[in-house]
Amino acid sequence: GKEIRKCFIPEDGCLFFSADYSQIELRIMAHLSGDENMMEAFREGHDIHRATAAKIWHEDIDKVTDAQRKKAKQANFGIIYGITTYGLAQRMGIPNGEARELIQDYFHTFPKVKAYMEQAKETARAKGYAETLFHRRRYLPDINSRNATVRGFAERNAINAPIQGSAADIIKVAMIRICQKFQSERLKSKMILQVHDELNFSVYPDEREKVSQIVIDEMEKAYTMKVPLRVDSGWGSNWLEAH
């Protein structure tokens, strides 16, 4: 699939520049939940998946194995969206018992994440909708359904929508400010593509430093949270090389 990225190229004589948020959804979860362990990992600049593994398995962070990191990564992205024991077991190819224990250890490590998830469901039940950091709403008419399967889907959306919705809001703010800055600085370079938490640009070589500075600065300052927003970036002759 990545090979298809070679098809995305800048204008003639330009470079392809890619900038994407580093683990923005987990950072938003840290902000919304206020969990000290999760916030500490981001504030210290640790690899969040390695830091999660270290806390779950009580290891020094530099002794965490790649296998442990991989499990922690799957736990990070699965558990915050309400994945079931069975779902995590299937995704990771492990027995249900091991998945159940991993989820329990995860919530023991990040207790305020669990509290946030329960609160998100309660708030949605009371209001009938979930809300992003910018107060954009996702209505959830099935949140009080008597059908457990239908209700469970709405409950997962109650947890998911504020996180993914806020990530979408933040990158839109960044896009607007970058566009305004390009115009005020009279730059010829252009923003050409947004993909989830990533922005891509066609950049004239003589504007390379200016574009990089503006893009990273505006993306990292788009919204102030309890943990810093961080951006990874790269250059190339096409999207594959740059990302």
**Torsion of Cα atoms, 76 then 78 then 84 then 89, to 10°:** -90
Instruction: Find how far residue 235's CA is from the centre of its chain.
Output: 22
Alpha-carbon torsion (9, 11, 13, 14), positive or negative: negative
Distance CA 238, CA 86 (A): 40
The number of angstroms, rounded, from the C-alpha of 117 to the middle of its chain's C-alpha atoms is: 16
Backbone angles phi, psi at 30, to 5 degrees: -60, -40
| Cβ 134 vs Cβ 28: under 8 Å | no
Report the alpha-carbon distance of residue 73 to residue 79 in Å, rounded.
10
The active-site residue out of 12, 20, 142, 232 is 20
CB 18 within 8 A of CB 200: yes
Q: In 3-state terms, what secondary structure has residue 128?
A: coil
20 belongs to the catalytic site: yes
How many Cβ atoms are within 10 Å of 227's Cβ, its own excluded? 19
**SS3 category, 61:** helix
For 209, list phi and psi in degrees, rounded to 5: -65, -40
Residue (of 182, 145, 30) closest to 199 by Cα position = 182
Active site residues: 20
